[in-house]
Amino acid sequence: MAGAEESVLKQQVVLDTAARLNKTPAQVVFRWNVQRGCSIIPKSTKLARLKENIAIFDFELSDSEMSAISAINQDKRFNDPDDFCQVAFNALHPIYD
Ligand SMILES: NC(=O)c1ccc[n+]([C@@H]2O[C@H](COP(=O)([O-])OP(=O)(O)OC[C@H]3O[C@@H](n4cnc5c(N)ncnc54)[C@H](OP(=O)(O)O)[C@@H]3O)[C@@H](O)[C@H]2O)c1
């Protein structure tokens, strides 16, 4: 499992790319996902962030930025389905055994 301090929003390459493009770190990682052909389902309780999160179609990441952000991967997950299933379904669904 990844810790909060490992958030992609805090990675230097994401911060640098966001600064260069005058975008937020969240917009950069959403754009990275969409640009590699993935659908994303960001959720926010804040109107300002809902607007921020959809404003990712007026810029593009370069091939080198795409590669650099992809290289952050450490094969860790933030969402543990084991925890989720116990809360949501009161059932044990271990995923690591
Ligand atoms: N994760 C799953 O396994 C799963 C499975 C099925 C369905 N879903 C659905 O998928 C959607 C997303 O779920 P999730 O688990 O990925 O996320 P989540 O935990 O439901 O919420 C997203 C988090 O990201 C924050 N956030 C949103 N926009 C941000 C931004 N621009 N910058 C920084 N932080 C931002 C939100 O904070 P604020 O609210 O404070 O902005 C919130 O803490 C939900 O509708 C959920 O029901 C998820």
Decide: residue 72, CB within 10 A, 0-12 exposed, 13-18 middle, 19+ buried. Answer: middle
Q: How far apart are CA 95 and CA 97, in angstroms?
A: 6
96 pLDDT band (50/70/90 cuts)?
Answer: low
Q: Where are the domains of the chain?
A: 4-89
Contacts of 68 (CB under 8 A, 6+ apart): 13, 17
**Per-residue pLDDT averaged across 7-11, rounded?**
95
Residue 97 has pLDDT above 60, yes or no: no
Output the average pLDDT for the chain.
92
Model pTM above 0.85: yes
Which ligand 1 atom lies nearest to the CA of residue 49? 31
42 pLDDT band (50/70/90 cuts)?
Answer: very high
Atom 46 (ligand 1) nearest CA: 43
Alpha helices in 36-70 (DSSP H): 47-54, 63-70
1 pLDDT band (50/70/90 cuts)?
Answer: confident
